[in-house]
């Protein structure tokens, strides 16, 4: 197997695929390394999820995204990006986990669980959905606590606590409620997140108002035990009987991977990978960051639709530094 490339792209999500398309247009010798399945983050979205974005805003590589409705589903998205990969015949190696990266002369040596890859240029496009924000409370590691949600069926007839008030939490609370779970929401803020999907927000607010779904606002979980959850509310401590906890508290970039690669992180609370805003080059020469990871912890600011331009920006920056690549 060939292991030396002009460009290694770490991450096989939509932006990683878009980077691969731009690399192929530029006739660069590239490979995409993905730790899981194709568009792994999208695959791990809830089974019945509907995107907020329209299908045309998710299109890449000139491949039409045909959806049955204005808002595409997870299933339609998985099929779409499979067709993108097939249409462009992208060079992708799946189930390959990057462990570390070192620099030797002008080349980067990328160590993975399936061997070493070397390249002069590297793009990191790993997203953030794979790394949850933990509660850091006692009992969080119990098997009944989940930070990812797939399907409502396991929660039929169960006492379920949903933590959070953004899109994921509201989607989960409603879907499990409609399938027969006894749902209680624990919400740190005083209200449902204002930017929840417009077709979801009034529904969840009405279910809370009629007490079909119970909600504790301005409250936090303090401990999780086998059969109970302890929360701190404005009225004082409260203990609730519980079978499962779905902690929909958001996600963050994989900072452990950034450290293993050698990418510096800003010292402020946003923890953004240090990069040049015009070229997206990091503190490491010829190493670039693309996609939503460029927002650091402020994960609600960048999405597929407003980071598609990163791919073209990076490939142009690579060509500008390496005129010989333009004629390949």
Distance CA 99, CA 114 (A): 10
Cβ contact 174:165 at 8 Å? no
pLDDT at residue 328 is higher than 60: no
Distance CA 140, CA 154 (A): 19
pLDDT of residue 156: 97
311's CB contacts (< 8 A; 6+ apart) are 15, 18, 19, 21, 22, 290
pLDDT of residue 265: 97
pLDDT at residue 16 is higher than 60: yes
HEC secondary structure over 201-269: HHHHHHHHHCCCCEEECCCEEEEECCCEEEEEECCEEEEEECCEEEECCCECCCHHHHHHHCCCECCCC
Confidence band of 198 (pLDDT split at 50, 70, 90): confident
Q: Do domains 4-131+251-327 and 145-247 have the same CATH topology?
A: yes
Cβ contact 200:230 at 8 Å? no
pLDDT (mean) for 267-280 = 94
pLDDT at residue 244 is higher than 90: yes
Distance CA 267, CA 325 (A): 35
Architecture of domain 145-247: 3-Layer(bba) Sandwich (3.50)
Confidence band of 291 (pLDDT split at 50, 70, 90): very high
- In 10 A of CB 278, how many CB atoms? 8
Strand partners, 35: none
pLDDT of residue 298: 85
Got the DSSP string for 153-200? GGGTT-EEEEE--SHHHHHHHHHHHHTT-EEEEE-SSSSS-TTS-TTT
User: Where do the structural domains in the chain lie, given as residue ranges?
Assistant: 4-131+251-327, 145-247
Strand partners, 159: 182
Q: What is the CATH number of domain 4-131+251-327?
A: 3.50.50.60
pLDDT of residue 46: 86
- In 10 A of CB 66, how many CB atoms? 11
Which 3 state secondary structure label does DSSP give 291? helix
Confidence band of 277 (pLDDT split at 50, 70, 90): very high
Mean of all residue pLDDT scores within the chain = 94
169's CB contacts (< 8 A; 6+ apart) are 162, 163, 185, 187, 246, 248
pLDDT of residue 1: 57
pLDDT tens figures, 113-136: 999 999 999 999 999 888 899 999
């Amino acid at each position: 197997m060939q292991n030396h490339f002009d460009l290694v792209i770490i991450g096989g999500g939509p932006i990683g695929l878009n980077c691969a398309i731009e690399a192929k247009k530029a006739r660069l010798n590239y490979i995409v390394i993905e730790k899981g399945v194709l568009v792994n983050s999208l695959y791990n979205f809830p089974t019945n999820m509907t995107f907020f974005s329209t299908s045309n805003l998710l299109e890449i590589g000139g491949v039409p995204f045909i959806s049955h409705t204005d808002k595409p589903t997870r299933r339609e998205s998985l099929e779409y990006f499979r067709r993108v990969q097939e249409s462009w015949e992208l060079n992708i190696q799946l189930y390959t986990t990057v462990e570390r990266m070192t620099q030797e002369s002008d080349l980067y040596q990328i160590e993975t669980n399936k061997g070493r890859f070397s390249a002069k240029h590297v793009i990191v496009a790993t997203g953030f959905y794979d790394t949850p924000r933990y509660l850091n409370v006692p009992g969080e590691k119990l098997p009944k606590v989940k930070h990812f949600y797939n399907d409502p069926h396991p929660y039929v007839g169960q006492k379920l606590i949903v933590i959070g008030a953004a899109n994921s939490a509201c989607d989960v609370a409603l879907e499990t409620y409609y399938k027969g779970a006894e749902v209680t929401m624990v919400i740190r803020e005083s209200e449902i997140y204002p930017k929840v999907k417009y077709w979801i927000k009034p529904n969840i607010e009405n279910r809370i108002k009629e007490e079909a779904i119970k909600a504790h606002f301005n409250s936090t979980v303090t401990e999780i035990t086998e059969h109970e959850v302890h929360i701190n509310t404005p009225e004082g401590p409260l203990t609730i009987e519980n079978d499962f906890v779905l902690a929909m508290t958001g996600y963050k970039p994989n900072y452990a991977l950034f450290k293993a690669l050698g990418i510096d992180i800003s010292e402020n609370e946003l923890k953004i990978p240090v990069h040049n805003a015009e070229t997206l080059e990091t503190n490491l020469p010829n190493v670039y960051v693309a996609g939503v990871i460029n927002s650091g912890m402020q994960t609600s600011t960048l999405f597929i639709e407003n980071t598609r331009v990163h791919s073209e920006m990076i490939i142009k920056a690579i060509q500008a530094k390496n005129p010989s690549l333009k004629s390949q």
